[in-house]
Amino acid sequence: MKIQSPPGMRDFYPEDMRLQNWLFDAWRRASLAFGFSEYEGPIFEYLDLYTLKSGQEIVDQLFRFQDRGERNFAIRPEMTPTLARMVAARANTLPRPIKWFSIPRMCRAERPQRGRLREFYQWNVDILGTEDPLADAEVVAVAVAFFKDIGLTSDEIVIRINDRIFAGAMLSSFGMDPQRFEAAFQLIDRFDRLTSDEFAQSWDERFRSVVSAQTIREFLGTQNPTETYERVSERVDASVRDRFIDFRLRLENLGIDDFCQFDLGVVRGLAYYTGCVFEAHARQGGLRALMGGGRYDDLTSLLDGPRVPGVGFGMGDAPVVELLRTLDKLPQLQSDLDVYVIDADRQLFPDALRLVDSLRQANLRVDFSYKRIGVGKQFKQAAARAARYAIVIGQEFIDRQELTVKNLTTGEQQAVPAERLRSNPRATLDGI
């Protein structure tokens, strides 16, 4: 019986893992460069952790189960609730600001589509313990540092920024009751993912008595975001307006304002966001958001901990890889093999194995042929494995205790005393 991988899940063959590790390394470089520390949590949590902040409507989006004790759990669909739970548990002992990142594996029970899978990895970056807009700007700057590191520019990436209070001010200007904001935000969050007719039908069914879908579309689809910002900012408190101005100034100070653009349609669909929100999008290609996040100042207090303000984002691996593939910017990655040891004579194979062991103890990545085959075929195997060097143990070893070392990148080769190679393998190889 042929069994395939489940829908929305992925197999990672070695070439896939090389790409995945390359991506994770870039995420870690950006995080560590900004002074973030890595953390992890359990693969599943109590179901209540997710319904507490998002309501019962989130249950259908989760892979959930009961254990033998009839306790309700869910495989984690995101990391922010776990982070809030962990911080709430030790809030009084953690030094501020708390700057953490993680790269967890997660699952969501939703329909698989381009750049969006049921099982995925997500880079999470968060700063907790401060309400300074500089923290908001810095988490955006981490994302920009990553995009630059992998060769993406502001011509290809835009980070759309907003504040939920601005979006609320827009809805208030139309006479909408604040009690209905969350329902409206959830629909606005889907504005780019619905057709014009789908959005109009959903909006008018709920909110036409307050404001028509056509009017909302005109606001959200404006080609002049600066004008929209000025119109809406007049309706918010001066303190909110000043904070957002400070946030945008810090983006400029950090040298990333060319990536950023005000967008009233960015509200994020999760109810725990309390202020600034942002999303990274490809300027072309029709992909969903590459990254999304914002400020959540009350989440830890929902978990019986003290109030610890926070801001952060999540970035999935699948949409990033899909974008790089669309732009033809995927890296060309080869096997990370340093040395391939070749025996030119069957009787020398035990000596070849001892050489392999010696090189591995020097932390070199070394392989060899399991079959005793000709030297030419072994060289082909070395090339297929993209090894940097081939070391041949043959008659020279019998006669003079020498090895032939070939640089498979340059084609240069030379005879090297076996003892010198064993005593200082890296320096010896680097000299060829």
Cis before residue 306, ω within 30 degrees of 0?
Answer: no
> Are the beta carbons of 38 and 100 closer than 8 angstroms?
yes
Assess whether 149 and 267 both reside in one domain: yes
Query: What's the pLDDT band for 75 if we cut at 50, 70, 90?
Result: very high
Q: Are residues 143 and 238 in the same domain?
A: yes
Is 54's pLDDT higher than 80? no
388 and 311, same structural domain?
no
Within a domain: 98: yes
Shared domain for 302 and 387, answered yes or no, is no
Decide which of 279, 298, 326 is a domain's last residue. 326
Residue 401 sits in a domain whose CATH number is 3.40.50.800
Domain span at residue 405?
339-430
- For residue 46, the surrounding DSSP H or E stretch is strand 44-46
Indicate which CATH number applies to the domain containing 273.
3.30.930.10
Query: Rounded mean pLDDT of the chain?
Result: 91
My answer on whether 316 and 359 are in the same domain is no
* 316 & 343 share domain: no
Within 13 Å of residue 360, how many CA atoms lie on the same side as its CB? 11
Q: Is residue 311 part of a domain?
A: yes
Neighbours of 377 (CB within 10 A): 12
The 10s digit of each residue's pLDDT in 414-423 is 999 999 999 9
The residues near 423 (Cβ < 8 Å, ≥ 6 apart) are: none
pLDDT band at 182 (very low <50, low <70, confident <90, very high): confident
Cα 114 from chain centre: 16
Residues 311 and 347 in one domain: no
Cα–Cα distance, 84 to 79 (Å, whole number): 9
Residue 396, class by beta-carbon neighbours within 10 Å (0-12 exposed, 13-18 middle, 19+ buried)?
A: middle
Q: What is the pLDDT of residues 246-261, one digit of tens each?
A: 999 999 999 999 999 9
Residue 363: predicted pLDDT? 95
Domain-embedded: residue 6? no
Q: What is the pTM of this model?
A: 0.88
